[in-house]
Amino acid sequence: MTTVSALRIPYQEKPVYLRKIFYTLCLTSLLALGSQAAETLSPSGNTLDDVNLYPDDSFVQVAKTIDVQDIDVSETYILVQLPSGELLSKTPTGFELLNVSNFKLTDLGLGVNNEQITFEVVAGDFFHLLDYPVLIYLGILDKDKVLHFGAFSLTANFQSLDSWDETAVRKVLHTFAFGGFASDTQIQTWAGMVPILAIQEMLSADTLNAKLSPTDTLDNSLPDGDLKTLSAFWSGEDSANPIATDARENFALTARNSAEHTWRQAVNLRGLNPARQLLGLVESNYHLSVNLDAVVNITNPQMMRYYDDIMNALAAATPYQDVLSIASLSAAVATQYNHRRNTFDNETQVFRGNEDFAREFHQIFFGIFGDYNTDYHEEITIKNTAQALTDMPVLLNAEGEQDEVVTFGEEQHHIAPLEILQQSIAGNTAQEKIQALSQYAVVQPESLENLPIILVRAFADENLDEARTKVLQNAWAEMAEKNLLTFLRNYAISTLFHHPQRFKYHTVPQRYLTALNQMTLSNQESYLDLYDIGGYEEEDYQVFRPLHDVFGAQTGIEAADSAEVFRAVYQRSSKNAHINSQTYLEDNGQLLWSKDWGSVIPVDDQGAYPVAQTVEWLWQRFLADGLKNLGSLERLHLYALLATGQDAAYALDANAPDRIFSSNEIDTDNDLQNALQDWGGSVLALDGDDSENRRTANHKIGLAINFINALPFAFGQEGQ
């Protein structure tokens, strides 16, 4: 049988050198890799002269090789794919290991000639994803030029994207990070990296991400913290607090919308991690939705604690079932569903309470609807889950307010084990039982089918077909440890995400705040609230007050179908066009701020800012579609705005300002073609010596952005 290998050790005549180190694959925990230890096929070893790993020279090169200096074999060199999904390679500077999952060096037991190897960890950049089964060889070349080798078999689920480029990077950032604040240089760097390495730098759940959101050099005030920490800082009297004095009360825990004010401010600031806030938005307002407007009022401290606990758990790479357990046991959820009052009398065997969250724990959190056995689900699983959710009151704190956490008791808790999901769930408190139940719920067949689809639809694709659905389900099912961030990272660099049939309508805050982040060039602009950070509320949206209560906030599809949303967007880009096109701010004649698009827009070879090039840059920055939808019609209007500061029809003929153009007309009309050429070739005075000319040029940029933000393309994203 022919063996297809993903590892080749080229060699020549003695003395033997390893002339190349194989640049190979990374399989994260999405890939099912055999966990057996590397097997030494010959106890005595084989010399290189005796071993022919490739008798028929069959070899699948899954990625290119990296040329390095010749390495003498007087030391031991290793190339191995680890069971947990990391590649380890011995190099002249030590061992390279990029930690994709929670792998620890102590988990690896590997020796040469029965001697344990000591590892030194340095950075690595040789990861790749496969879309077909392969056999990975473990090769050990020792100081006596003896080659020992074994093999692992594995299967890949997501096909890695071959056309990883700037557009692919920007699509990921728009979908998962509100566009981020990375510079063009950083985005180009990511586009030139192996995708699995780039995505780990791009997407994280930590409070900070220096490459995605570098610190504003003029603002070193930001604490490294979660929502509650930021709320305390921005509402406080610290001399370093940059929030205007009269606005600080909006961030106080006692303020009605403090959670929302704190969250959206965090989205719009360099130095904080916008990807964390996007993940948090989806989890707390869609998938695991709770509502500050619930009949039984959740407090802002409870909401912030709920959000922070979920995000801190994701940042710590906590298994996803445990993240869901943390959310399930929160004071916010106990208050929302009111099972904080559930009790069980162990003597009389009487349950008092409701089954509301008992049902939604399975349905909303884990995607278990009971199709496996409807009667059993209703009569056994839900009823017993309700009894597991007993004696978990939310007490009053010293200030007489509801506490941020649940107090788990035993006296009024169903102490005996309960049958749930056809498993015996034991535990002395609700906390212990729900933690135990979560381990079974996440691998229940319905959950394995539904949960990944719930997540992907919420984040990135509302147009899944059967084939792509199956790939997602398989990928999730085969994760040995369910990790949301790992799943999303690998999905984001796969052909599934960058698929021509993928389409996602942006939710209101995602569309609005992504555009706002691309508009905002400094933290000063954010603190001054120049662009109305809360303007999305005009589109019938409030964060942490979901339209459909526990079933989630207004969806992207609902927003796209809403006349009210369209009206608000149109108003902002027309009657309120001054918001995005303002260029300076003065106070009693003193200049406080001025817009400087010239600091980020690239120049041409002559150091100028030509209109045509600037239009393409703006289009890619705000829409991230690789210029796919930038046609002659869009160019005509945008060129006119940047070249003349006027609408195209008015610029061509002031007596016919209502003229309507078509793409066909533009492509065939000589006058319009000449206008395109003239306007496109004109230059913006973004770096001129005259301040009025600079302001005019920056004003024109704002007009063009208004036009782009009101286009249909701004309401959703295609995979390709």
Mean pLDDT of 287-306: 93
Q: Is residue 470 part of a domain?
A: no
> Are 510 and 393 in the same domain?
no
Tell me how far apart the alpha carbons of residues 442 and 343 are, in angstroms, rounded to a whole number: 26
* Integer angstrom CA distances of residue 544 from 158, 345, 586: 33, 35, 35
544: left (phi over 0), alpha (psi -120 to 50) or beta: left
> Are 571 and 434 in the same domain?
no
Tell me how far apart the alpha carbons of residues 372 and 417 are, in angstroms, rounded to a whole number: 22
Q: Is residue 260 part of a domain?
A: no
State residue 11's pLDDT score: 24
Binned at pLDDT 50, 70 and 90, residue 295 comes out as confident
> How far from each other are the two terminal CA atoms of the chain, in whole angstroms?
40
Question: How many domains does the chain contain in total?
Answer: 3
Give the rounded percent of residues in the chain with a pLDDT score beyond 70.
78
> Model pTM?
0.80
Cis status of the peptide bond prior to 15, with omega within 30 of 0: yes
122 φ/ψ angles, rounded to the nearest 5 degrees: -130, 180
Tell me how far apart the alpha carbons of residues 462 and 539 are, in angstroms, rounded to a whole number: 21
Q: What is the pLDDT of residues 144-182, one digit of tens each?
A: 433 333 333 333 445 556 688 999 999 999 999 999 999
Tell me how far apart the alpha carbons of residues 242 and 308 are, in angstroms, rounded to a whole number: 23
Mean pLDDT of 348-354: 97
673 lies in which domain range? Answer: 505-520+558-720
Tell me how far apart the alpha carbons of residues 405 and 303 are, in angstroms, rounded to a whole number: 11
Mean of the per-residue pLDDT values for the chain? 81
Q: Is residue 632 part of a domain?
A: yes
706 φ/ψ angles, rounded to the nearest 5 degrees: -55, -45
State residue 297's pLDDT score: 86
Chain CA centroid to CA 544, Å: 19
Tell me how far apart the alpha carbons of residues 264 and 267 are, in angstroms, rounded to a whole number: 5
> Are 563 and 708 in the same domain?
yes
* Integer angstrom CA distances of residue 284 from 180, 197, 207, 412, 550: 20, 28, 16, 29, 10
Which domain-ending residue is among 123, 155, 187? 155
State residue 159's pLDDT score: 59
Does pLDDT of 458 surpass 50? yes
Q: What is the pLDDT of residues 360-411, one digit of tens each?
A: 999 999 999 999 999 999 999 999 999 999 999 999 988 888 999 999 999 9
Does pLDDT of 682 surpass 90? yes
Which domain-ending residue is among 400, 416, 441? 441
Q: Is residue 631 part of a domain?
A: yes
Residue type at 382 in one-letter notation = I
Binned at pLDDT 50, 70 and 90, residue 235 comes out as very high
Q: 611-623 vs 508-519: helix axis angle to the nearest 10? A: 140
Mean pLDDT of 258-278: 98
State residue 145's pLDDT score: 39
> Are 618 and 718 in the same domain?
yes
Chain CA centroid to CA 684, Å: 35
> Are 384 and 513 in the same domain?
no
Binned at pLDDT 50, 70 and 90, residue 80 comes out as very low
Q: Is residue 499 part of a domain?
A: no
Q: What is the pLDDT of residues 499-558, one digit of tens each?
A: 999 999 999 999 999 999 999 999 999 999 999 999 999 999 999 999 999 999 999 999
Binned at pLDDT 50, 70 and 90, residue 230 comes out as very high
State residue 296's pLDDT score: 81
Greater confidence (50 vs 637) lies with 637
> Are 434 and 515 in the same domain?
no
> Are 346 and 436 in the same domain?
yes
> Are 435 and 510 in the same domain?
no
User: Residue 182's closest CA among 212, 205, 202?
Assistant: 212
> Are 515 and 632 in the same domain?
yes
> Are 323 and 406 in the same domain?
yes
Mean pLDDT of 11-19: 23
Binned at pLDDT 50, 70 and 90, residue 570 comes out as very high
Which domain-ending residue is among 441, 476, 494? 441
Q: Is residue 185 part of a domain?
A: no
Q: Is residue 562 part of a domain?
A: yes
> Are 509 and 436 in the same domain?
no
Q: Is residue 150 part of a domain?
A: yes
> Are 436 and 511 in the same domain?
no
